Amino acid sequence: MTVTGSEAPTQLDVAALLPDGAHLIGGEWVPAHGGETIEVCNPATQEVLGRIPRGTAADVDDAVKAAADAFPAWRDTSPGVRAQLLYRFADVCRAHAAELDLLECLEVGHPSWGPSRIADQLIYVAGMADKVTGHTLPTASPNMIGMTLREPYGVVGSIIPWNTPGPLMAADVAPAIAAGNTIVVKPAEDAPLTCLLLGKLALEAGIPPGVVNVVTGYGPEAGAALPLHPLVRRMSFTGSPETGTRVMEACARSLIPLHVELGGKSPQVVLRDADLDKAIPAIVRGITFNTGQVCAAGSRLVVDASLRAPLVEALAEAFSKVRMGPWHERVEMGPLISKKQQDRVLGYIEVGKEQGARLVTGGGKPSGAKFDKGFFVEPTIFDEVRPDMRIAQEEIFGPVLSVLTYEDEEEALAIANGTSYGLVSSIWTSDVGRAVRLARRIEAGQVGINTTWSGGVIGSPHGGYKRSGFGRVMHAETILEYTQLKSVVINGNP
Ligand code: NAI
Ligand code: MG
């Protein structure tokens, strides 16, 4: 069926949209060398949506070679033409915005957030393609000219997680190809379809074959081969710290740079003078959005002790009203992506209880026929959480909020900064002075004052402090991360 943005679509003919069991290498849809496939399921129903190739090192090799073949011509394409192609890619993504949204809903299980806004990401980056410049350099002699050039690396590898695959892939692909690199994307095996569709739309937009390649498969089989391939010159990884470490080790062996985004344990710091009516819905959304499967999820509530009891009560009430179910019903929260993630989140809930936190609401699988087949977990609040408990330290990646209290500003900061992560943080206050003080001292790549999210700000850099990773995406300088600096010296009097 055709999907339009005006209705609330629930069906998508995946087989009509994407070839079955094929990934995109050098502009061709091909099966894996081994011929094996992996089923992709709707996590709300376990209905099979389609099959993807179970790619291995041999498929990665084909894709990297295709990207390397496409590189010289793409590098030498005028940056203005690359920009134009990215604008066209944006147009095609806008024309398919409903399908991009729906496909991600189907494979990730989240409710619709409206037509995909990937086009906006592409437009933002397209405008930079022809503005990448070097410098002229001072010289000791008038006979010399010195300058720097910003050049692409060549083939870039990108490993994408399953939580919001479309926007995450666009965040890597757009600056990489705008700068003149070609790219091989390895999507997550749990939600690879949106990435395959984006690859298809890039081709449809006229981006030459081989510039954007998408190789599917399991992490240890396909993903692991990418940073080790001798023709890959730069990597980008988003996912767990464990896998990020493995990818970094591979990059070390290959002696290539990378950027990593490894999640967080983002604090929501609520000061005594906060406007709770505004804070409460944002705090609820901050941990239930995408069922808590967001690197930036506000998973720790760090609250003034005097506010704790009324705030926890109000949050419990709000959590009990979060509508949960298959994404196509009018719900705010879908299932988790997989049985593995459901077991992980339920495991953390057990750990919270064992370590003595007080379960306020949620804490299990919801009951009822419509939840039977999906990987659902109730929105959950733990109160009386101590900073050293595992549910206060480790990324759960589910709808589980840990409530910690403080007595004064110093303690609030110590708790907020007291994990190995440092991705996002929020401060809820009406006191500008305290907001400024805390914003300066919080160790996080992003600080929101009276907001949980940088949404609405164009070009807000996204990335971590500490073990949340390094490198920044989605901002004006991201394109420079996909370039290397060359110094050229001209001697006018040899
Ligand atoms: P993961 O980090 O293992 O998977 C992310 C990507 O890495 C996938 O494409 C996967 O196929 C690939 N991969 C896995 N092993 C690999 C290897 N040895 N070499 C190269 N690539 C490999 O994450 P997973 O297992 O799906 O989720 C576990 C936890 O990771 C989550 O509960 C969450 O805490 C965290 N995570 C964080 C994300 C974020 O946005 N920061 C996204 C996804 C997961
Ligand atoms: Mg894994």
Q: Is the CB of 290 under 6 A from ligand 1?
A: no
Please determine, for residue 493, whether its predicted confidence score (pLDDT) is greater than 50. yes
In a domain? residue 282? yes
Residue 382 located in a structural domain: yes
158 located within any domain:
yes
Shared domain for 307 and 227, answered yes or no, is no
The ligand minimizing its distance to the Cα of 396 is 1
User: What is the per-residue pLDDT for 355?
Assistant: 98
pLDDT at 455: 67
Q: Looking at residue 308, which CATH number applies to its domain?
A: 3.40.309.10
Is 466 domain-assigned? no
Looking at the structure, tell me whether residues 315 and 255 fall in a common domain: no
C-alpha distances (whole Å) from 396 to each of 145, 237, 267, 305, 392 are: 55, 19, 14, 24, 9
Is 467 within the bounds of a domain?
A: no
Residue range 360-377, pLDDT digits in tens? 999 999 999 999 999 999
Evaluate if pTM is beyond 0.95. yes
The predicted-structure confidence for 14-35, as pLDDT tens digits, reads as follows 999 999 999 999 999 999 999 9
**Domain coverage including residue 418:** 267-458
Same domain, 159 and 125: yes
pLDDT of residue 456: 78
112 token code pair: 């619709």
CB of 172 closer than 6 A to ligand 1? no
Residues 416 and 325 in one domain: yes
Among all ligands shown, which has an atom nearest to the Cα of 220? 1
Percentage of residues in the chain having pLDDT higher than 70: 98
- On whether both 410 and 441 belong to a single domain, the answer is yes
> Which pLDDT score, from 0 to 100, does residue 6 have?
37
Q: What is the pLDDT of residue 10?
A: 65
Instruction: Point out the ligand 1 atom lying closest to the alpha carbon of residue 262.
Output: 41
At residue 3 the predicted structure's pLDDT band, cuts being 50, 70 and 90, is: very low
The mean-pLDDT minimum among 177-181, 336-340, 474-478 falls in 474-478
Same domain? 294 vs 257: no
Mutating to test ligand 1, I would choose from 159, 172, 341, 390 the residue with most ligand atoms within 8 A of its C-beta, which is 159
pLDDT at 7 over 50: no
Q: Does one domain contain both 282 and 326?
A: yes
Q: Determine the length of the chain.
A: 494
Catalytic residue, chosen from 99, 189, 221, 261, is: 261
**Per-residue pLDDT at 2 exceeds 60:** no
Distance between Cα 226 and ligand 1 center (Å): 15
SS3 202: helix
Q: Would you tell me how many other CB atoms lie within 10 Å of the CB of residue 15? A: 11
Our mutation pick for probing the ligand 1 site, out of 186, 195, 215, 243, counting the most ligand atoms within 8 A of Cβ, is 243
Q: Atom 41 in ligand 1: which residue has the minimum CA distance?
A: 263
Given this model, what pLDDT does residue 11 score? 78
Q: What is the pLDDT of residue 328?
A: 83
Distance CA 246, CA 224 (A): 8
The answer on 149 and 25 residing in a single domain is yes
Percentage of the chain exceeding pLDDT 90: 95
Residues 333 and 190 in one domain: no
Backbone phi, psi, residue 76, to 5°: -85, 0
405 and 273 in a single domain? The answer is yes
How confident is the model at residue 454, as a pLDDT? 67
Closest ligand 1 atom to Cα of 337? 26
Any domain includes 179: yes
Q: Is position 295 annotated as part of the catalytic site? A: yes
Question: Is there a domain that residue 371 lies in?
Answer: yes
Q: Cα(339) to centroid of ligand 1, in Å?
A: 15
- The pLDDT of residue 389 is 98
The pLDDT tens digits for 459-472 are 999 999 999 999 99
| pLDDT at residue 9, rounded to an integer | 57
Task: Clarify whether residues 239 and 294 are in a common domain.
Answer: no
* Chain-centroid distance, C-alpha 35: 30
Q: Are residues 186 and 292 both part of a single domain?
A: no
Beta carbon of 347 within 6 Å of any ligand 1 atom:
no
- Evaluate whether residue 494 is within a structural domain: no
Q: Give the mean pLDDT of the chain.
A: 96
The CATH number for 223's domain is 3.40.605.10
306-351 pLDDT, tens digit each: 999 999 999 999 999 999 999 888 899 999 999 999 999 999 999 9
Report phi then psi at 399, rounded to 5.
Answer: -85, 60
User: What is the pLDDT, as a whole number, of residue 404?
Assistant: 98
* Ligand 1 atom at minimal distance to the Cα of residue 263: 41
Question: pLDDT, tens digit, for every residue of 241-296?
Answer: 999 999 999 999 999 999 999 999 999 999 999 999 999 999 999 999 999 999 99
Q: How many domains does the chain have?
A: 2
The DSSP secondary structure of 366-404, one letter per residue, reads PPSGGGSSS-----EEEES--TTSHHHHS---SSEEEEE
